[in-house]
Amino acid sequence: MPNFRHMPEAPTRVRALAPGESIDAHRHDDHQIVYAGSGVLAITTDAGTWFAPGTRAIWIPAGCVHAHRAYGHLALHLLGLPAGTNPLGLDAPTVLTVSPLLRELILAYTGGPHDETSERLRLRAVLLDQLRASPQQLVQLPVPTDPRLTAVCDLLRHHPADQRTLAALATTAGAGERTLSRLFRRELGMTFPQWRTQLRLYHALRMLADDVPVTTVAHRCGWSSTSAFIDVFHHAFGYTPGTHNRRP
């Protein structure tokens, strides 16, 4: 992302984004927690894309150049933290599980008056305690650099329902199956099946945010059946895809 804006402070506020609306690449001198109270949020950097529905938040470290994109109507809760306050010790974007309590704390802190009263300081202290206890989640699509791996990933990005095995895909990239398998682990930190599942979940969230029926989403994203899609989705996000747009 060669062109970006420098925004020194990461604001604490609530911002609405319409479906498909984006915030261009920028960076802050502060850390930022971004939570989508509704819709699906995608954060993109040079390293990849992190995506989060309403049960997840995304940690963005100070100085990280990133862009936002909304899928569905997005109620974006932005919470800035000084660079010296890093409750999780994270130096890269990370998706975090948001418990019901943490969700209410984020909503209260970003939506309330921003004067530094003793009550607000106590609210922030509890919020940081809850962040420290938040499990980290693998909800990411890393960007490959090897051209052979890039060719395979780009093909599946455009056709997530493609059912070909890695061996079959390898012939289109001019590489062997074992070579590609090693590249997935080395460059993307996951196996080919893990990466393909992440890709399909990303596409599924985008479609669900646009009110595409669950059965159609399962078919377009390449699951063998609707029930298989529901099982994988529930395991990843903690709720079923049919309730996605009905969540608070």
For 159-168, which contacts have Cβ atoms below 8 Å and span 24 or more sequence positions?
160/196, 160/199, 160/200, 160/203, 160/220, 160/221, 160/222, 161/219, 161/220, 161/221, 161/222, 162/222, 163/222, 166/192
Query: Hey, what CATH topology would domain 144-246 get?
Result: Arc Repressor Mutant, subunit A (1.10.10)
Provide the residue ranges of all domains of the chain, joining segments of one domain with +. Answer: 5-137, 144-246
Local confidence pLDDT in tens for the 248 residues of the chain: 556 677 666 778 888 889 889 999 999 999 999 998 888 999 999 999 998 887 789 999 999 999 999 998 888 899 998 888 888 888 899 999 899 999 999 999 998 777 788 888 899 899 999 988 888 887 889 989 999 999 999 999 999 999 999 999 998 888 899 999 999 999 999 999 999 999 999 999 999 988 999 999 999 999 999 999 999 999 988 889 988 866 55
Model-level pTM greater than 0.95? no
**Lateral strand order in the sheet of 5-6:** 5-6, 22-27, 66-71, 40-45, 48-52, 140-142
CA distance 51 to 38: 13
Q: Where are the alpha helices (DSSP H) in the chain?
A: 100-111, 118-132, 147-158, 166-173, 177-188, 192-209, 214-221, 226-237
CATH classification number, 5-137, choose in 3.30.70.360, 2.40.30.20, 3.40.50.2300, 2.60.120.810: 2.60.120.810
